[in-house]
Chains A and B, each alone.
Chain A
Amino acid sequence: MSANFYFGIEVFLNGMMAGVLYSLVALGFVLIFKASGIFNYAQGVMALFAALTLVGFQNGQIPFSHLINAIFGTNIHHFGWHMPAILAIIFTLMVMILFAYLVEKYILKHLVNQEPIILFMATIGLAYFMEGFGDLMWGADIKKLDVGIPQGGNIWLEEHTAFLGGDDFYGFYLDNLDMLATIFAGLLVVSLVLFSQYTKTGRALRAVADDHQAALSVGISLRAIWVIVWSIAGFVALVAGIMWGSKSGVQFSLSLIALKALPVLMLGGFTSIPGAIVGGLIIGVGEKMFEFLIGVPFLGGATENWFAYMLALLFLVFRPQGLFGEKIIERV
């Protein structure tokens, strides 16, 4: 086998791991969409906000310090302690649960039975509010996120696969962070599926996703379920935020990953958890392989910017419900 063949495999594997992050963001979208019919534009910002909060806790930043300094003329920035990663993650999770509760109490509760477009607009508002709020709370500078996940290429793997492709091939180069992210994401998805299949709350979540009235009639509180769903979506956002933030720093462009999740959803379908996972992987692999096989040799590269959207467009034309979504049949 030629070295190029192994490069191809390496590109494939890297694409897969990039796809895992897309899948995670898309997963957050699907969870909320299924349970409440809301397309949550703020999912990407939630990931950003979670990552910002995590870094803030870790570094002992004082929230709103800029605002406080500006108003009172003080000069405070840090508490002067450094929090262990695991503790900071737990605190951040608590913040995300509080966030879910507040979203339900101040937004969703008042918009019950409204048109989907109104709920969508509300989440756009929420997204911009959170972006500004995160900025105000933790500052707009790019922050380094380190929760102790090893980074850089895996030397062991590289050395032990170098023999495969002859002199031109130096072994598979895979990032430790990407591999760990893949494992975490896999575990997360498996536990979510088990939770929703085998527990009473999981069953209630699926029930609410299916029929609100019937859910009420068997004693399920929609509001409680919405808080739970937004909390889970917040948790998923936190995981995505950690992975993405460790890789490229916590910066406000993180919220733009939400846009990459859109083609993923169009591919996988808005209502399917497996769809979000598979869609993410297809987009991840697809854009890397396309760049490697066609983009660089023939089109001058940089196809990764638009490949996902092209693919989504094709899907919209030929299979609008996505790979796994429910077919929408309108009765006349």
Chain B
Amino acid sequence: MQDSYVTADGRTIGATVMEMKNITLRFGGVTAIKDISFDIREGEVRAIIGPNGAGKSSMLNVINGFYHPQEGEVWFHGKRRHEMKPHQIAKQGIARTFQNIALFKGMSTLDNIMTGRLTHMKSGLFSQMAWWGGAQAEEVANREIVEKVIDFLEIQAIRKTPVGRLPYGFQKRVELGRALAAEPKLLLLDEPMAGMNVEEKEDMSRFILDVNDEFGTTIALIEHDMGVVMDIADRVVVMDYGKKIGDGTPDEVRNNQDVIDAYLGVAHD
């Protein structure tokens, strides 16, 4: 395995956090992911790109346990991960956002982000019912962390608003906040910039880079838009029709003939 190194902008990229080995995922007769391997290293921004239907979201769903691959192994922190339920994987420190925002629409911004703290809260049911001792102290302590997340994402003004009423860009931000509140070891972002205008995209890119920079959070993100990815990712996996067609730094990927073909639709003989 490669040693850790320091990037041009001064961040340290460490050892491998997660490794996908020969993952194959089928739905009935359709193969969504075919024999794909790649790794994610500590502290890096790792992007998965590819055209529509390439299997990017399926890959994210494999990482967070919504899907279970038929073949292949998932290694997390140097250990092989056996088949687990999504909520158990969340407890291991993998948080995510969704392509079509999945927030708790009836709840306020604050409550939504508080749910991100659930994996860190240990008080028992009876302590909570009595609102006594442990439960109360725990609420207060976790609330402080949530307030920091709210400050960081600059959403103080909407903390009490039910998220269903917020504009799209803000909803995306609250969803990121909920994932951040979990203080994840690995943060998965499914098209964080989908459907955004240029200004919102810039804001979101800045937040992603800041999260990575300030907290050293390892990030794996899916993006449709090549341009944005090339700016913020350290390394990029390119998928097409469920197969991996490229893997490397943005520059390497940009000059890869297979990748160019996939995006431009050039046919080989």
Chain A interface residues (CB < 8 Å from chain B): 194-195, 198-204, 206-207, 209-211, 213-222, 228
CB–CB B90/A214 < 8 A? no
CB–CB A216/B90 < 8 A? yes
7 closest Cβ pairs, A-B complex: A219-B90, A214-B102, A210-B104, A199-B128, A219-B119, A216-B86, A200-B121
User: Are A214 and B98 also in contact (CB < 8 A) when A199-B128, A201-B125 are?
Assistant: yes
Chain B interface residues (CB < 8 Å from chain A): 64, 66, 85-88, 90-91, 95-96, 98, 102-107, 111, 114-119, 121, 123, 125, 128-129, 131, 135, 138-139, 178, 182
CB–CB A210/B86 < 8 A? no
CB–CB A220/B104 < 8 A? no
**What 20 additional pairs, Cβ within 8 angstroms, besides A199-B139, A219-B118?**
A195-B128, A195-B129, A198-B139, A199-B128, A200-B123, A200-B128, A201-B128, A203-B114, A207-B104, A214-B102, A214-B104, A215-B87, A215-B104, A215-B115, A216-B85, A216-B86, A217-B64, A217-B98, A219-B90, A220-B87
Which chain A residues border B123 with CB–CB below 8 Å? 200
Which chain B residues border A194 with CB–CB below 8 Å? 131
Once the chains are docked, how many angstroms separate the CA of A228 from the CA of B128?
13
Which chain A residues border B102 with CB–CB below 8 Å? 211, 213-214, 217
CB–CB B106/A218 < 8 A? no
CB–CB B139/A218 < 8 A? no
Task: Specify the chain A residue showing the minimal Cβ separation from B90.
Answer: A219
10 contacts between A and B (CB under 8 A): A199-B135, A211-B102, A214-B102, A214-B103, A215-B104, A217-B95, A218-B115, A219-B90, A220-B87, A221-B85
Once the chains are docked, how many angstroms separate the CA of A216 from the CA of B135?
22
Which chain B residues border A217 with CB–CB below 8 Å? 64, 86, 90, 95-96, 98, 102
Most chain A Cβ neighbours within 10 Å, of B88, B106, B114: B106
Which chain B residues border A204 with CB–CB below 8 Å? 115, 118
Once the chains are docked, how many angstroms separate the CA of A195 from the CA of B131?
9
Most chain B Cβ neighbours within 10 Å, of A198, A202, A216: A216
CB–CB A210/B116 < 8 A? no
Point out the residue from A199, A201, A219, A228 that lies within 8 Å of B91, measured CB to CB.
Answer: A219
